[in-house]
């Protein structure tokens, strides 16, 4: 039989945490909003950097072979180790959160976008070459639209990670954010266990919201993908 009182170190009962979240929803929304906005700002920057790097690498195999080792090496440093370094250098919580969110975003976006840019059919490239189309027009009209599904795949992988990176910075001493609530609740042990678990669940909700937002944008921008097409006919 389960004990009546939940130990602070054990997995919480959902029936206890959900009412706590609802009772403290304004505070969680306020602090979670700070985390979300900073993470999405860095996510946007990281997405643009990732796409730009992918385009640059797709221009030449030499450029790709030169840049790839540095991009891969940049991901060898864990965010839990890099976050305090970035925070100590910048001395600004918002800028540090944006930087770390961009850091975890650009790599998946770069790799997936490069795969999409490299996957353009040979016949399509030759058609553009036969019309002597400039490079910028080839990318704008063909390569980038063709790579959008892979680009959004990288974004969907990165969206929850950007939230995590922002929270890690907040654990280092930021003045606000869901991570601040999380670490402050740990100082009080079992007395604040409900708040700790509430921030954990709410962080997961924020990450899911970021993923769903990018999925919605993908559906609006790339409606031609097979999974987004409306199937017609009987029995379909």
pLDDT at 160 over 90: yes
Q: Model-level pTM?
A: 0.86
Query: Which structure tokens are listed for 170?
Result: 């907040």
Enumerate the H helices of 139-192 as residue ranges.
144-171, 178-187
Instruction: Measure the CA–CA gap between 149 and 109, rounded to whole angstroms.
Output: 11
**pLDDT at residue 4 greater than cutoff 70:** no
* pLDDT over threshold 80, residue 225: yes
Which class in CATH covers the domain with range 14-219?
mainly alpha
Return the closest-CA partner of residue 219 out of 156, 163, 139, 158.
156
Render pLDDT for 139-148 as a digit per residue (tens, 0 to 9).
Answer: 898 899 999 9
Average pLDDT over residues 16-25: 88
Instruction: Return the pLDDT at 155.
Output: 96
Nearest CA-CA partner of 210 in 44, 25, 20, 26: 44
| Tokens representing residue 115 in the block | 């795969």
The string of pLDDT tens digits covering residues 83-111 is: 989 998 998 999 999 999 999 999 999 99
Is the confidence at residue 132, as pLDDT, over 80?
no
Is pLDDT at 233 greater than 50 in this prediction? no
Residue 15's pLDDT band, with cuts at 50, 70 and 90, is confident
């Amino acid at each position: 039989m389960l004990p009546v009182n939940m130990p602070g170190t054990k997995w919480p009962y959902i029936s206890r945490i959900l009412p706590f979240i609802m009772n403290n929803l304004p505070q969680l929304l306020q602090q979670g909003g700070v985390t979300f906005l900073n993470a999405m700002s860095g996510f946007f920057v990281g997405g643009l950097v990732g796409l730009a790097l992918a385009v640059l690498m797709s221009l030449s195999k030499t450029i790709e072979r030169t840049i790839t080792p540095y991009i891969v090496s940049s991901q060898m440093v864990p965010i839990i180790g890099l976050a305090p370094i970035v925070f100590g250098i910048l001395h600004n919580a918002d800028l540090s959160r944006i930087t770390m969110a961009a850091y975890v975003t650009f790599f998946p976006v770069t790799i997936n976008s490069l795969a999409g840019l490299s996957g353009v059919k040979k016949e399509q490239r030759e058609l553009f070459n036969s019309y002597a189309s400039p490079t910028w027009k080839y990318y704008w009209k063909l390569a980038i639209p063709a790579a959008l599904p892979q680009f959004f795949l990288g974004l969907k992988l990165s969206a929850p990670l950007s939230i995590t990176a922002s929270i890690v910075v907040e654990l280092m001493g930021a003045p606000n954010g869901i991570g601040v609530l999380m670490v402050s609740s740990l100082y009080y042990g079992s007395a604040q266990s409900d708040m700790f678990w509430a921030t954990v669940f709410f962080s997961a909700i924020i990450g899911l919201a970021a993923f769903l937002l990018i999925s919605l944008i993908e559906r609006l921008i790339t409606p031609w993908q097979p999974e987004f097409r409306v199937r017609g006919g009987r029995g379909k």
